[in-house]
Homo-oligomer: A and B are copies of this chain.
């Protein structure tokens, strides 16, 4: 889960997303609209008897807030609650067999971090016809998947490319919220498949955006373009706007493959190569 604003629990229920599947929560920064739903979620986990660990990644201060809230309520979470304090960008904070997550340093009034999710390169796909045709012994399969040639006991060599297909290219997702316009993380998010980037103001309010360390639709699209992103998802529109289509319109002038974030939207992350 990325950020957790007030009412997140209710929203999870409305979207029929099973809250017990959430084991890792990544908080960008400690402005209220990005974390005020967390305490309620954590209390609910306690009340419904969660036992499996929960990991929270966040800048300094959140752990103190949550621990204080548990303390005054005279509860201790019934499940292991692990805080991972984020102090810099470009830091790998999570890894499992499928993905890695690293922090991205945002430019904001208080310490703020985006998160970059990268799939790991999958093993090569073995061709079903090759298994039969070359009569591949089962004990060789995992070696072949990892790219090795098939070497038979009699010394015969079947090259890997005859046995396997390329696996799908690993996909990546960058979540960049909130930030003023900066190119400091362009290198890090280069070629990302899906870039979520905040766009708080329309570009006619670029001065206010600069002053409040937020971005415009044009800013977000410029970052997407310079980073050669596959797709751009924008959001975090200021409450002063009613017509979000204006954000889409201005961003698309710079980066055509732009999507407007809205409540309940699901976006499938396709890897760039397959999409092109």
Contact = CB atoms under 8 A, between A and B. Distances in A.
A32 B69 contact: yes
A242 to B, nearest CB: 15
A96 interface: no
A72 B36 contact: no
A275 to B, nearest CB: 37
Interface string A60-73: 01101100110111
A159 interface: no
A43 B39 contact: no
B36 A32 contact: no
* Copies per complex of this chain: 2
A40 B36 contact: yes
A31 interface: yes
B74 A110 contact: yes
A47 B26 CA distance: 25
A99 B73 CA distance: 31
A69 B73 contact: no
Interface in A11-62: 30-33, 36-37, 39-40, 43, 61-62
A80 interface: no
A7 B9 CA distance: 10
A6 B39 CA distance: 10
Interface of A: 6-7, 9-10, 30-33, 36-37, 39-40, 43, 61-62, 64-65, 68-69, 71-74, 109-110
Given A36-B43, A65-B68, A65-B69, 4 more contacts: A33-B43, A62-B72, A65-B72, A68-B68
The list of the 6 closest CB pairs from A to B, nearest first, reads: A61-B72, A32-B43, A30-B72, A6-B40, A74-B110, A7-B7
13 contacts: A6-B9, A6-B36, A6-B37, A30-B69, A31-B73, A32-B69, A32-B73, A36-B36, A36-B40, A36-B43, A65-B68, A72-B110, A74-B110
